Amino acid sequence: MRFLKRLLLSAFFISTLSLVGTSANAACKARLGDFDWSSANIHTAITSFILEKGYGCNVTVTKGSTTPIMAAHYDGQLDVITEVWYDNIIANYEPHVEAGTIKNIGVNTPDSQQAFYVDKTTADKYNLKSVEDMKDPKIAALFKDPENPSKGRMTSCISGWTCYTVNLVKQKEYGLDELYTNFDPGSGGALDAAIAGAFAKKKPIFTYYWAPTGLMGKVDLVRLTEPKWSKKCWDDMSVVVEKIKAEGPEAYTKSCASEYRDMALTKSVLTKWAAAHPAETKFLSQYSIPTATVNRMLAYYEDESDGDMDLTAREYLKSESAWTSWVPADVAKKVKAAL
């Protein structure tokens, strides 16, 4: 029941966070779905600027957690998703591709990773290299959860992100659930703050995290090894993950677990929208930013823009030239003029 309440609240949340861009050309309307983490926000901000200023589109951006945003995309309410973590949502995503209602339009960022990490100081001191090394009550005590002192804390994803449930299943499969909580920090910013705060106070932290992010270049985390990724194992786990998301944690059944696969992030569009907007879809298909550049822009967002994503998008368009190859010359000229 609590899961359903959260989902309903998330649906309400995304419905009230639409940011509308205006344009004289109402023929092009683009409804973009965005998420509550910074790398996705950067891609959405850049593509929104180009679609609005270069193609004259009326752009709306709806922001929220993975589950409600992707549900709105599957339901035809959102046209474009600029950052898809495919492996995390494969069980729900592929049926819609097979049905022909949505389509993958290529790589957004060519290299990403997700994993369980421990701060290097603690990892070195206690020789922590794998998830198996965490299955010791004395080790768990190093990461004591202040809200549940009988267990250690693994700082996890946000409950609205699919990876939160993936991590829940992983903990059970690895035998870590008896020793650690799967702590929901509440937001992507709070997750970053928890990690950065632990380093600032020189305290141990056991956490889920991912890249590309600006924080990865500022802290020293050691990636814990897990069983090697395999498609069958991941597919079996994904079925359980989706069942828990739909019915709650009591729906867990034993399956399998493995490491997250390092993968390219992709983009997704509604098939009908793509057919009606061939020029814009061609641009989105060609849009791809190297991981190092994404990390640089994330650092700019965090350290120099004062948390202004529009300013970050403008900085990318001013400082980089690769984007001009994604669009016709007349579109590039309009975008440059708007800068």
- CATH architecture observed for domain 2-110+264-338: 3-Layer(aba) Sandwich (3.40)
Rounded alpha-carbon distances, angstroms, from residue 326 to 27, 55, 204, 315: 21, 12, 44, 17
Model pLDDT for residues 205-228, shown as the tens digit of each residue: 999 999 888 888 789 999 999 999
Token pair, residue 90, equals 């494969």
Q: What is the pLDDT of residues 111-148, one digit of tens each?
A: 888 999 999 999 999 999 999 999 999 999 999 999 99
The pTM score is 0.76
DSSP reduced 3-state for 32: strand
Q: Where in the chain is the domain with CATH 3.40.190.10?
A: 2-110+264-338
| Cα(206)–Cα(142) distance, integer angstroms | 9
For 85-107, what is the mean pLDDT?
A: 95
CATH 3.40.190.100 residue window(s) in the chain: 112-251
Return the structure tokens found at 283.
């641009």
pLDDT tens-place string over residues 288-333: 999 889 988 998 998 899 989 999 999 999 999 999 999 999 999 9
Q: Which fold has domain 112-251?
A: D-Maltodextrin-Binding Protein; domain 2 (3.40.190)
Per-residue pLDDT at 275: 97
Residues 6+ apart with CB under 8 A from 253: 240, 243
| Of 1-15, 77-91, 231-245, 262-276, the least confident | 1-15
**Distance between CA atoms of residues 174 and 162, nearest Å:** 18
